[in-house]
């Protein structure tokens, strides 16, 4: 079973409204309160939830942190009215000055308190956004019309690998990502940090059955290419200008049998250097580059 720390090599190749804002207005005159810049509210010093060794116990999967991920979330219309935004005084001033709040309220919080909300070592850059999950798009929204590129992830569970794939998928102009609902990490926490805002801009469809989803995509005119280290064709041979779905297998086990059987072609990435495998996020970046080049041609 993969974990958030795993770094296994790749061998085989969404509006839901959230009301997670402040629990109520502060009482005037509370000890320790002080004015906040631009009229934003100074957060109370009371701790949320339980404490664990000086660290507030908060589910990282309900949090987005870091400048790029938080700014992307604030700009996402689907998050309007959703979530609780916390920022240091300097960041709160910047958000107001540069009109980056997009209707959200901001609480001023000391940097050390933000750090206590996050996993050890997380770099918040003065911004933490507590959110609820976004709803995904319907598969049909991605399937029709059939054009461009899509990426499907077969039970990838490492948040940083998935976050990196989101970033590459957006960078190379693909239309969206398809994941299996029960076997994929939340689009927040470390995944959102690694994706650097891509999870807010790239449509994601969550489906129950990947094999059934592949057949739906084939019926809609998509060419399905599964990445497999033992594939019968090279990536260059398997790709062309047709609308293409790139299917990436899990970090340790690669593509599952039924998923592989529903691909039109299994393709390998030639590795003349003699090293037998790539990390799955690196393999996805290579495949996306090659597929986007074929699409442009």
Task: Give the contacts of 102 (CB within 8 A, at least 6 positions apart).
Answer: 74, 75, 80
* Dihedral (CA of 76, 45, 50, 57) sign: positive
Q: What is residue 60's predicted lDDT score, i.e. its pLDDT?
A: 82
With CA atoms as reference, report the closest residue to 245 among 212, 223, 277. Answer: 223
Q: What is residue 33's predicted lDDT score, i.e. its pLDDT?
A: 39
pTM over 0.75: yes
Instruction: For residues 109 and 111, give the distance between their C-alpha atoms in angstroms, rounded to a whole number.
Output: 6
**Which CATH number does the domain 139-296 belong to among 3.40.1280.10, 3.40.50.720, 3.40.1160.10, 3.30.300.90?**
3.40.1280.10
How far does the chain reach from its first CA to its final CA, in angstroms? Answer: 40
| Domain ranges for the chain | 37-130, 139-296
Q: What is residue 57's predicted lDDT score, i.e. its pLDDT?
A: 57
Q: What is residue 56's predicted lDDT score, i.e. its pLDDT?
A: 63
Q: What is residue 8's predicted lDDT score, i.e. its pLDDT?
A: 41
Parts of the chain with a pLDDT under 50: 1-51
């Amino acid at each position: 079973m993969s974990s958030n720390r795993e770094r296994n090599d790749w061998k085989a190749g969404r509006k839901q409204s959230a009301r997670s804002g402040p629990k109520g207005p502060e009482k005037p005159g509370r000890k320790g309160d002080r004015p906040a810049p631009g009229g934003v509210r100074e957060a109370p010093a009371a701790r949320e939830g339980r404490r664990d060794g000086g660290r507030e116990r908060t589910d990282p999967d309900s949090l987005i942190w870091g400048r790029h991920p938080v700014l992307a979330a604030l700009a996402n219309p689907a998050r309007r009215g959703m979530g609780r935004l916390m920022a240091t005084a300097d960041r709160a001033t910047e958000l107001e000055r540069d009109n980056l709040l997009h209707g959200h309220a901001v609480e001023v919080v000391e940097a050390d308190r933000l750090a206590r909300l996050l996993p050890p070592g997380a770099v918040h850059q003065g911004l933490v956004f507590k959110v609820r999950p976004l709803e995904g798009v319907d598969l049909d929204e991605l399937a029709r019309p059939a054009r461009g590129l899509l990426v499907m992830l077969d039970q990838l569970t490492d948040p940083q690998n998935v976050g990196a794939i989101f970033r590459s998928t957006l960078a190379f102009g693909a239309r969206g990502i398809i994941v299996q609902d029960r076997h994929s990490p939340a689009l927040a926490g470390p995944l959102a940090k690694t994706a650097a805002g891509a999870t807010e801009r790239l449509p994601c469809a969550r489906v129950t059955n990947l094999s059934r989803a592949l057949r739906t995509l084939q019926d809609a005119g998509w060419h399905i290419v599964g990445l497999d280290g033992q594939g019968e064709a090279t990536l260059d041979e398997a790709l062309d200008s047709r609308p293409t779905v790139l299917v990436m297998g899990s970090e340790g086990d690669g593509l599952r049998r039924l998923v592989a059987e529903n691909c039109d072609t299994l393709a390998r990435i030639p590795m003349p250097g003699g090293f037998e495998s790539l990390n799955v996020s690196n393999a996805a970046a290579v495949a996306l580059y090659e597929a986007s080049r074929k699409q442009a041609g």
